[in-house]
Structure formats: C-alpha cells, structure tokens
C-alpha cells in the first residue's frame, strides 16, 4: 500500500526507516509518519499465489515476507526519530 508522496520530491531516493516481520507494526509506523505529515510507502508483507504460499525458486515458502516502510531521503532523519519508540517495542 502506498500513500501519496510529494510530487516535487519524487526525484529523491526512497530509504527504509522501519523493517519488521509484523504487518501490524508496519501499519502503526505508517500511521505515525502520516500523522506527522511524512509520506511513506510500505513494501513486503503477505504475498501469495493462488495456492496461498509464495515461491522462491523451486522452494515453497510461507507467504509472509519482511515488511519495510520507506520515506523520501529528505524525511528519513525525522521519520527515524518518530519511529524510535516503536522500533524498541517491536524488538522486545
């Protein structure tokens, strides 16, 4: 899922500011950032084919993939500070 990023800044790189295997924590991170006016995008999470499992080469794996929250490079420092407490809670 992707929120709208500032069109004037689209020439910037996206950088990850939060990584987790918990999609709920990623949704909370996204909410914190958007409430602070920082646009972001979330990549990863539940991915499956019609069988309900994802494929990695010829090996079948569970459908859960790591989740990362990305922001524009110019927003990365502020975003990291905002997500510091959530990062601590997620690692416990």
Tens-digit pLDDT profile for residues 33-53: 999 999 999 988 764 444 444
Residues 6+ apart with CB under 8 A from 52: 63
Q: Does 43 or 1 have the greater pLDDT score?
A: 43
What percentage of residues in the chain have a pLDDT greater than 90?
48
Can you tell me the distance from the alpha carbon of 15 to that of 53, in angstroms, rounded to the nearest whole number? 28
Can you tell me the distance from the alpha carbon of 92 to that of 80, in angstroms, rounded to the nearest whole number? 18
Say if residue 56's pLDDT is above 60.
no
Q: Which of helix, strand or coil describes residue 75? A: helix
Q: Which of helix, strand or coil describes residue 85? A: helix
> What would be the CATH architecture of the domain defined by 7-90?
2-Layer Sandwich (3.30)
Say if residue 23's pLDDT is above 50.
yes
Residue 59, pLDDT score: 52
């Amino acid at each position: 899922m992707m929120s709208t990023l500032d069109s004037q800044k689209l020439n910037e790189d996206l950088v990850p500011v939060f990584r987790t295997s918990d999609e709920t924590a990623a949704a909370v991170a996204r909410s914190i950032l958007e409430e602070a006016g920082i646009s972001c995008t979330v990549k990863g999470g539940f991915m499956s084919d019609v069988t309900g499992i994802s494929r990695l080469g010829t090996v079948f794996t569970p459908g859960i993939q790591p989740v990362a929250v990305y922001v524009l490079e110019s927003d990365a420092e502020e975003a990291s500070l905002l997500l510091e407490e959530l990062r601590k809670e997620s690692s416990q």
